[in-house]
Structure formats: structure tokens, C-alpha cells
Amino acid sequence: MGRKSASSNDRARLMLAQEAARIIVEHGIDDYRTAKIKAAERLGLASRGSLPGNSEIEQALSEHLQLFHGDSHSKLLQKLRSAALSAMELLSAFEPRLVGPVLSGTAATFSTVNLHVFSDSVEGVAERLHRQQIPSKLYERQLKCRPGPSDTFAGYQFMHQDASIEATVFPFDGLRQAPISAIDGKPMRRADARTVQAMLVK
């Protein structure tokens, strides 16, 4: 009985993960928690067992993109990674690193290019964009860099090569310790410009 119940719960988690992945791709939702709550409501599974973890959502998202979008997804990744590399060159003085879905390969049509840049002066990043006549919007983001409360980081959102770029500013010593990923609880994977360039020529 217990084994049958566990198997049923596993199937429900898989269905929820797959539906959450579809919602992320088709509705442009980039928050996994929001996507899985919507999926649970849509499938009528909100009160049955636990919701799938973020790593399960990411796996389902990767499989969904490969299965249903194939070549078009590959072209989208090339486009977004090209825009990321160009933005990294623009902000090269701030040791930019690419993070998130564009790096991992799970970016969808509505995905933002996420960069981490490093400067002890947040305004220095804004000045660089201003000198290049690139309009930008200031934002704040909560990220966990160590066990305990999250830290608040400022960043700038701007458009570049038809892609939405978000450059979150860390102090220079932030290069040594990446924030904790909400996907798997490990330090976020970061890629420098050379690594992104290598991904583009594959």
C-alpha cells in the first residue's frame, strides 16, 4: 500500500513538473514557485502530496524545450548567448559573468539574460551604460550568499541586441563566492566571456 502510494505521488510530481515547464515556456513565467502553484491548480493536485522541487522543474523544462522546440530553441539560445557576450564586452571593466537559464540552456522566448558584474561603485555601472547611450532601469534583487538571511543587491536592466539584460552588481570580492542557486542550493554556475564565446562556436 505504501509503495503504491509513493508511486502515485511520484507520478503526480512528474505531471506537475511537466505542466509547470509548459507554463514557464508558454506564459513567460520565470518564477518556478509561481509556475508550480499554477500547475497544481490547473491539474487539481494542489492538496495531493508535495510539489516538485526546483531541480525537478528545471529537468522537465529542459526536456520540454528539447522535445517541443528543438531547432528553434537552439537558435534562440544562440541569439541570447550572442547578446550576452556583446553585453559582457560592453561591461568588460566589471568582470561580467553569465548566469541563469541562458547559461544552463533552459532559456525560453521570454527569458532575460542574467549577468553578474563586479564593482565597489554601483553607480559606475550606470555611468558606463549612460556613456554608451543605453537607457537602463535600476532594480534590487534578494540573493542568498551564505546561510541565513538574503542580501540585497542593486542591478540595471537594459535592452541590448533585442534581448533584455539584467546586470546585478556585486562588490569585487563577490567574484570569489557565487550566490546560492534557488534550483539546487549550490553556488550558482558562472561563465566568463571566454566560456560564453566557446559555447557560441560549438
Asked if residue 2 has pLDDT above 50, the reply is no
Domain spans, the chain: 2-68, 71-200
Entry pTM: 0.85
pLDDT of residue 48: 57
- Residues 137, 86 contacting (CB under 8 angstroms): no
**Cell numbers given for 63:** 526536456
User: What's the whole-number mean pLDDT along residues 122-138?
Assistant: 96
Q: What is the pLDDT of residues 32-89, one digit of tens each?
A: 889 989 998 888 876 556 788 899 998 999 898 988 877 888 999 999 999 999 999 9
State whether the Cα torsion 157-160-163-165 is positive or negative. negative
Domain 71-200 has CATH 2.60.40: no
- Residues 35, 110 contacting (CB under 8 angstroms): no
**65-74, 112-121, 191-200: least confidently modelled range:** 65-74
**Residue 113 — pLDDT band, cuts 50, 70, 90?**
very high
Q: In what order do the strands lie in the sheet with 113-118?
A: 97-99, 113-118, 163-170, 151-160, 137-143
Alpha carbon dihedral 80, 117, 180, 50, in 10-degree steps, equals -40
Q: What is the pLDDT of residues 148-186, one digit of tens each?
A: 889 999 999 999 999 999 999 999 999 989 999 989 899
CA 142 vs CA 80, 139, 175, 179, 183: distances in Å: 24, 10, 17, 10, 15
Q: How far apart are CA 75 and CA 52, in angstroms?
A: 29
Cβ atoms within 10 Å of 159's Cβ, excluding its own: 13
Closest Cα partner for 96 from 111, 84, 80, 82? Answer: 84
